[in-house]
Each structure stands twice: as C-alpha cells, then as structure tokens.
Amino acid sequence: MSFDRRRLFAALAGVASVSAATPSLARETVAPPARDSGRRSRIDAATLGLSPHSADDQSKTFQRAIDDAAAAGAVLHLAGGVYRAGGLILPPHAAIAGVPGATRIVIADAPNMMTATGSDYVSLHDLTLDGNNVPLPQQRGLLHLAQGRAVRIVDCEIVNAGGTAIKLEATHGEVTGNVIGAADVAVFCLDARGMTISGNTVRGARNNGILVWRSAPGDDGTLIIDNRVEDVSNTSGGSGQYGNAINVFRAANVIVRGNRIRNAAFSAVRGNTASNLQIVGNTCSGLGEVALYAEFGFEGAVIANNIVDGAAIGVSVTNFNQGGRLAVVQGNLIRNLLAQRPAGTNPNDDAGVGIGVEADSAVTGNVIENAPYAGIAAGTGPYLRDVAISANIVRGADYGITVSIVPGAGTSLIADNLISGARRGAIVGMEWKKPVTGDLAREDANRYAQLTISGNRAR
C-alpha cells in the first residue's frame, strides 16, 4: 500500500480532530508525548499501513512511514504489538514513539535495525528493539547513528543485540533511561560532539558496557552519569581490552559520576589516555582487576568519593613511563581486595593493593581496609615523582604504605596517616617488589633525602 503526501496530511488532520473532540479518549489510547516532541503532531502508524502483530517483513512500509512522518514534522506513533523490520534509515527530524513495554520492533533480514548519517533531531522513545541474536557486522550497531545533532534515545529497551547495541559516531545528544543488553558492547560512543549517557541500565554485556572513545586524543566532554552497569563479562579475552563496565579512551574532559557498577570481569571505570577525567561518586563491587583506572598518556585525573568493594586493585594511577601524571585521589572507601588479577593478565602485575600512584599526585582522606598486599603503593621502580600521601586510614594490609626508593625515584611526602594492623610494616621502602627497609613509620627515614615522613600513627 502506498501513501502520498495528501493522504498523510489528511491522516494528521484526522488525528488532530479526534484529539480535539475526545480528549479523554486520546489520553487513554495514546502514549504521553516524548520530551523533545511534545509540540509535534502525532500520527498513528496504522494510518500509514503498519500493522502490529504481522508476521511479514514490513521494512518497506515502515521506511515510507518514517519518511513521511519526518517530512511532516510528526511523531510516528506505534501501537503495542510486534513489527518485523530492518535496515531502516532515519532522516532528519525522524521521531518514533511506542507504548512502553508493548511496542516491539524485531530485526528482519538486514545488517542492522536502524541507521542515520547526518540526521539531526532524531528521537526514539518507549520502544523495544529486539536484535533476535542475529550476528551484526563488525563496527556496526543494531542502532547506528552518525554525525547527528540533538539525537535522543530515551526510555527504550534494547534486547538480544547480536553485537553492539547502540553505536554513535560524531554525535550530539542523549542516551537516557534505556535498558540495554548486548553480545558485544552496550553503548559505543566514538568522537562525541556533546553526549550525555545517563540513567541507563546495562545488564549482561558480554565484552564491554559503555565505551567513550576518540579516534585521536582530544576534547570530548561526554557525561556518563547515574547509570547501572551489571554483569559485564569478557568473551573476547585479552588483558583489559574487554570486560570493563565503563571505558574512556583518548577522550578528554569526560565525567563519570554516580554510577552503580556491579560484577565486571575487569574494571569498573578504565580511563586510557583520558586527560582531565573525573571519576566521582561511583559505587563499584565485584571487579576482577583494577576497579578505577587512569593509565597511559593522560594528564589530569580526579578519582574521588567512590566506593570499591572487591577488586584486585582499588585505584591505579599509572604509566608515568608513558606520560601518565597529575591526579587527585581523595575520599574513596576501598575494601576487600583480591590477591590476584584475572586470567590473561600479566602474572607479574600487582594485586591486593588499595591505591597505586606514580607521578604528581595527592592521595588524601581515603579509607582502605583488607588489602592483601599494600594499602597504598607510591611508585614503581624509578617511576615516582612528587607524590603526597596524607590523612589516610589503612586497616589490615601486609604493608600499610610502600614507597619506591630505587635510584632515580623522586620525592614523596607521607604524613599524618593512621595505619592499623599492618602485618609486615606500616611504611616500607621498596626496590621494585623487594622490601629493603625497616618500618619507616617507626625508625629514622632521614637517610632517604627524597622522603619526608612525619606524623603517622601505626598500631
């Protein structure tokens, strides 16, 4: 069945007249307007030929309906039911809304479900997008949007994605309030132009939860806030490329705040070459490797007011040898650390450490309990410069605080910390992994010119 523009506007007029004549009925039968389309007219997709519960592939009819509604500036409203379609292209101003929990679009014979390139003001609301576990091409998402402004994916459920669920490239907008599962990555945001990823629930992603990456290091500014990310596994192996709840790569000025992260094979938040990264106020439990990571060539990280319960390392600020430097690690609660990292990682890498830092960093006001190896570790071999460790509490560790004293290691200030129950020493100097001093909290440390140790309490 085909529809020309005249019939489309007739349908819109019909919707408007019915709404005016019977407002109470309209409120009962039509879902509330989407936030960004409340002033738009709405058209019932059935008037453009789409049929709920049809066993047929309706891709062609669906595409015409999307195009015609977008051209008219209307929201295409889908009644509850199942629609089989795929390979749909979203033009500028495409807006599709459904009935929460009742409108399901199941992928048909196509490489993915929906795509858009250069389309501004695209919005999807209250839809269930079902990938039917059909394998997706590499580098493509079940929902794949590129180079668009004011894109909104809100209150949708994305299930059975046979690869990446949502892929965004050079996009501005928001992904908010969705429930997402995927055989690969739940949300992959590349070269963002101002994205907010908030209030989503990611469950059972098999490689990574939320990725915010850039093709080359640069300003990004994505907000990753108030999401729930659970049960992220690592089906592709490797030593940290996969198995992360949130991963920020080459993207500067990203804020990761207020997320609840539970059960990830590797990290809760992994920042790689991500300058001015803020990891603030997250609650993280059941991590296999480093919970909160700032690594490789970054400058600037704030890791503050997080809770970590269960990880091989709580916080790691590392890779001074590759330019990683400048951090504040403050006010974190870290407990119940593991004595080893997951399979596939370097067996010589540290584990059982609360906080590890290397260069130009302040570590203050943290509470660390039950670290099998060290509460706080300052430096690795010669990779140590200008680290201040103050006013922390460490309870129940082999070493309360370790500090590198190999030739070439830089200055450290260790002051006013409370260390309780350190089994092998409260403050100990290290040559790489070998302890080479007595307990510097209890004996004179003046022979190490690069160290200032004062006011600590060990018991």
Question: If you average pLDDT over every residue of the chain, what do you get?
Answer: 92
pLDDT of residue 343: 80
CA atoms within 13 A on the CB side of 223: 12
- pTM (two decimals): 0.91
CA geometry: angle 54, 128, 37, nearest 5 deg = 105
Is the pLDDT at 14 greater than 70? The verdict is no
- Residues 45-56 have a mean pLDDT of 96
User: By the 8 A CB rule, do 2 and 62 touch?
Assistant: no
Strand-pair partners of 230: 203, 262
At 163, the amino acid letter reads G
- Token pair for 90: 């979203």
Per residue in 151-199, pLDDT (tens digit) is 999 999 999 999 999 999 999 999 999 999 999 999 999 999 999 999 9
- 3 state DSSP class of 298: coil
In the chain, pLDDT over 70 holds for what percent of residues?
92
pLDDT number for residue 129: 98
Q: Give the residue-averaged pLDDT of 278-295.
A: 98
Q: Positive or negative CA dihedral for 97, 98, 101, 104?
A: negative
pLDDT tens digits for range 405-435: 999 999 999 999 999 999 999 999 999 999 9
Q: Which pLDDT value is given to residue 345?
A: 82
- pLDDT for 20 equals 34
| Residue 263 reports pLDDT greater than 50 | yes
